[in-house]
Structure 1
Amino acid sequence: MVSRVVYGRGSFNQLPEIVESKRVNTKAPFIYLVDEVFKGNSWLTSRIPLSYNDEIIYISANEEPKTSQVDELVEQIILSHQDKPSGIIGIGGGTLLDLSKAVSIMLTNEGEAKDYQGWDLVKNPAVYHVGIPTISGTGAEVSRTTVLTGPEKKLGINSDYTPFDQVILDPDLTKDVPKQQWFYTGMDCYIHCIESLQGTYLNAFSKSYGEKALELCKNVFLDTSFSEEEKQEQLMMASWHGGMSIAYSQVGVAHAMSYGLSFLLGVKHGVGNCIVFDHLEEFYPEGVALFKEMKQLNNIQLPKNICANLTDEEYDIMIKVALSLKPLWENALGKKWDQIMTPKKLKSLYQLM
C-alpha cells in the first residue's frame, strides 16, 4: 500500500515541503516526469519546486507506455546526472504514473524493463517516487503494478516495490480534463469495480473498497445533482478505492481483452476497456446495462469496427496476449476458465468490435 497520502484542493502546493525532506544531496536531483499537455501551463509548472540539478522531462501520453520507453528514460537520466536521483515525481494520468513507477524501479535494478514484466520479479527497492494524478480513474496512483507494452506482451511490473512512496491527491488538477477522456478513465474505474466485485478472488477487503468506488462512480456518471467540483472530488476518491479493490483481488474479461487491443492496435487503455465492455453482457449483464446507460446520459460515442479488417494472424496475436493473463481469467471465470474462454470464443468476441 502507499504509505503516505495527502488529499485536498490546493494540496499540490505541499510538494516543495514533501520532496525536499527526501533530497539525498545537492547533486542527486529530483526528476519530474510531466504530461506534455502541461508544457507552457504556468498554473501548474510554476509550482514545481526545481532546485540544484532538478529536471522536468515532458512526455506525451498519446500512446500506452512501453518497456523501451522506460529504458530510454532511465538511460537519459543516468547520462544526464552525476548522482542517482533523489526521487522520481510523476505528474499526469495513468501513462505518466506508470512510467514514473517503472523508471524508479529500473534505476535500482539491472537489465531491461521487459525482464520485470510479471509478478514479484523486482529484487531491489525503487528510488523514492511520488505520484500526482491529474486525471482520475485508472487507479495507477495506488496500484502495485505499472502496466507496460513490451516486445512480446502487455503486462505490468507487479511487485511490492512498485507502489508510490507518496501520493498527492488534489482535485483541482483534474478540472480541465476533456469530457471524452474524463469518461474513458472514469469507466476504467467503473469496470475495475464490476470485475472485482463479481470475481472469484473477491474478499472482504477488496469488496469494501470496490463497493464504495462503485457508489462514487454512479454519483459521478448518473446523478446530475452534483456540481462539477463535487464530481471531481468523488471521481478522484473512486479511482483510489477502485485501485485498492483490485490490488487485493483482480480485474477480469474486459481488461484481459483490452490488453490485446492495446498491444496490436495501440488502443488507449480506457477507451479499449469501454469498447470491450460494451459487448460483455454474457459475463457482466447488470454492469454492462448500467455502462450503456452512463454512455447514453453522457453522450459518448465509442469507436466501432476497429477489428473489421484484421487478418487471422493479427487476431491470433491479440488472443495470445489476452489469454496470457491467467490471473485475470481465473478471477473472472474460475479455475477452469480455459474451458470457457477458448481461442475460438475469444476471437468471436473480438470480431464484434
Structure 2
Amino acid sequence: MVPKVVFGEGCFDQLSSILSSKKKEKAPFIYLVDNVFEEDTKFLDRINLRFNDKLIFVSAEEEPKTSQVDTLVKNIKSEFTYLPSGIIGIGGGTVMDLAKAVSIMLNNKGSAADYQGWDLVSKKAVYHVGIPTISGTGAEVSRTTVLTGPVRKLGINSDFTPFDQVVLDPELTKGVSKNQWFFTGMDCFIHCVESLNGTFLNAFSQSYGEKAYDLCLEIFLGDTLSEKESRAKLMMASWHGGMSIAYSQVGVAHAMSYGLGYVLGTKHGVGNCIVFQYLSEFYPKDVALFKQMVAKHGVTIPQGICQNLTEAQLNTMITVALGMVPLWENALGADWEKVITPEKLRELYLKM
C-alpha cells in the first residue's frame, strides 16, 4: 500500500515541505510532467524547483513503453553522478506509470522489459511521488506500471512499484476534456465491475470496490453533484477502485484491452470502453449501466477499429490477451481456458 497520502483542494502546494526531508545532498529531484502543462507557467511556478532539480516533460499521447522508460533512465544517469533524491510524476495514468517504472529501473539493472510480469524486481525503487491530474486509472495507488514492450503489453507488478507518497488535489483535474474525463472515469468503473465480479474477490477488495462503484454511479448517472464535488469524488473513486484491484484483479475487458493497446496503440481507457460494450455475456447488468452512462454524456465510443486488421495483427492481439492469465483466472476461475479460446476472442474482436 502507499504509505503516505495527502488529499484536498490546494494540497499540491504542500509538495515542497513534503519533499524537503527526502532531499539528499547534490542529488536532484526529477519531475516527470505531462507536456500539456508545458506552457502553463502559473502551474509550473508552483512546482518550486531548487538547486539542480530537473523538470522533464513527457507526452501522454501514446501508452508508456519500456523503451521510453529505458531512455529516461539512461538520460538521467548520464546527466547526474548521483541517483536522484526522488522521482515525482505529475499527470495522468501514463505519467504515473512512467514515474513508477523509472524509479524502479534507476535501482535495477537491464531493461524495463526484463521486469514485465509479477514480482521480478529485486531492489527497492528510488523514492517516488505520484500527483495525478486526471482521475480514474488508479495508477496512483496500484502495484503495477503498465508498459508496452517489444513482445507484450504487461505491467511491472511488484511490492516496490507503489508510490511512497501520493498528493491528491482535485483542483488539478480542472480543465480535463469531457472525453478524457469520461474514458478515464470508465476505467475506474470497469475496475470495480471486474473486481466485484471476480473469483479473487475478498472482503478487503470488496469494501473498496463497492465504495468506488457507488461513487461512479453517483458521478456518471446522478444529477445532484456540483463540479467541485464531482472532481473530489472521482478522485476518491479512482483511489478506491485502484485499491480494490490491488487486492484482487481485473478481468475480461482489461485482458482484451491489452491486445488492442499492443497492436493498435489504443489508449487504455478508450480500449476498455470499446471492449466493455460487447461483454454482456460476462457483465450483463453493468454493461447496461455503462451504455446508460455513454448515452447520458453523449460520448462516442470508437467503432470498427478491428475491421481492417491483417490476420497477423489479429493473431497477435489474441496472443497478447490470452497471456493475461491472472486476469482470466479472476474473471472466470481456474477453468477459464474452456470458455476463452482463440476462436472466442477472434469473434469478440471482430465485433469491435
Matched residues, number? 352
1:184 alignment partner AA? F
In structure 2, C-alpha distance between the alignment counterparts of 1:52 and 1:123, rounded to whole Å: 31
| Residue 311 (1) aligns with residue 310 (2) | yes
In structure 2, C-alpha distance between the alignment counterparts of 1:81 and 1:101, rounded to whole Å: 19
In structure 2, C-alpha distance between the alignment counterparts of 1:190 and 1:279, rounded to whole Å: 16
Q: How do 1:260-339 residues align onto structure 2 when only pairs under 5 Å count? A: 260-339=259-338
Q: State the partner residue of 1:42.
A: 41
Q: State the partner residue of 1:10.
A: 10
Instruction: String of CA shifts for 1:306-335, please: whole Å, max 9, x gaps.
Output: 000112211100000000010000100110
Q: State the partner residue of 1:348.
A: 347
| Residue 239 (1) aligns with residue 238 (2) | yes
In structure 1, C-alpha distance between the alignment counterparts of 2:272 and 2:2, rounded to whole Å: 25
In structure 2, C-alpha distance between the alignment counterparts of 1:272 and 1:200, rounded to whole Å: 23
In structure 2, C-alpha distance between the alignment counterparts of 1:44 and 1:18, rounded to whole Å: 18
Q: State the partner residue of 2:56.
A: 57
Instruction: String of CA shifts for 1:228-254, please: whole Å, max 9, x gaps.
Output: 101000000000000000000000000
Overall identity of the aligned pairs, in %:
66
Bigger mean CA deviation after superposition, 74-83 or 123-132: 74-83
Task: Compute the displacement of 1:225 (Å).
Answer: 1.1
Secondary structure of the structure 2 residue equivalent to 1:163:
coil
In structure 1, C-alpha distance between the alignment counterparts of 2:56 and 2:326, rounded to whole Å: 35
In structure 1, C-alpha distance between the alignment counterparts of 2:235 and 2:41, rounded to whole Å: 23
In structure 1, C-alpha distance between the alignment counterparts of 2:294 and 2:87, rounded to whole Å: 36
| Residue 199 (1) aligns with residue 210 (2) | no
Q: Normalization by structure 2: what TM-score?
A: 1.00
2:277 alignment partner AA? D
2:10 alignment partner AA? G
Task: Compute the displacement of 1:20 (Å).
Answer: 1.4
In structure 1, C-alpha distance between the alignment counterparts of 2:118 and 2:24, rounded to whole Å: 30
1:19 alignment partner AA? L
Q: Normalization by structure 1: what TM-score?
A: 0.99
Instruction: String of CA shifts for 1:285-322, please: whole Å, max 9, x gaps.
Output: 00100000000000001111000011221110000000
Secondary structure of the structure 1 residue equivalent to 2:229:
helix
Instruction: String of CA shifts for 1:20-71, please: whole Å, max 9, x gaps.
Output: 110111x100000000000111232111121111000000100000000000
Task: Compute the displacement of 1:81 (Å).
Answer: 1.1
In structure 2, C-alpha distance between the alignment counterparts of 1:99 and 1:270, rounded to whole Å: 17
In structure 1, C-alpha distance between the alignment counterparts of 2:275 and 2:286, rounded to whole Å: 13
In structure 1, C-alpha distance between the alignment counterparts of 2:218 and 2:40, rounded to whole Å: 30
Secondary structure of the structure 2 residue equivalent to 1:209:
helix
Instruction: String of CA shifts for 1:234-293, please: whole Å, max 9, x gaps.
Output: 000000000000000000000000000000000000000000001100000001000000
Q: How do 1:67-86 residues align onto structure 2 when only pairs under 5 Å count? A: 67-86=66-85
Secondary structure of the structure 1 residue equivalent to 2:330:
helix
1:59 alignment partner AA? V
Q: State the partner residue of 1:32.
A: 31
2:46 alignment partner AA? R
Q: State the partner residue of 1:258.
A: 257
Secondary structure of the structure 2 residue equivalent to 1:155:
strand
In structure 2, C-alpha distance between the alignment counterparts of 1:103 and 1:49, rounded to whole Å: 22
Q: CA RMSD in A?
A: 0.5
In structure 2, C-alpha distance between the alignment counterparts of 1:332 and 1:209, rounded to whole Å: 18
Secondary structure of the structure 2 residue equivalent to 1:255:
helix
In structure 1, C-alpha distance between the alignment counterparts of 2:178 and 2:244, rounded to whole Å: 25
Q: State the partner residue of 2:213.
A: 214
Secondary structure of the structure 1 residue equivalent to 2:147:
strand
In structure 2, C-alpha distance between the alignment counterparts of 1:100 and 1:87, rounded to whole Å: 10
Task: Compute the displacement of 1:80 (Å).
Answer: 1.1
Q: State the partner residue of 2:162.
A: 163
2:24 alignment partner AA? V
Which runs of no fewer than 5 residues in structure 2 stay unpaired? Answer: none
Structure 1: 4+ residue segments shifted above 2 A: none
In structure 1, C-alpha distance between the alignment counterparts of 2:68 and 2:295, rounded to whole Å: 37
In structure 2, C-alpha distance between the alignment counterparts of 1:44 and 1:77, rounded to whole Å: 24
Task: Compute the displacement of 1:178 (Å).
Answer: 0.3
In structure 2, C-alpha distance between the alignment counterparts of 1:298 and 1:111, rounded to whole Å: 45
2:55 alignment partner AA? I
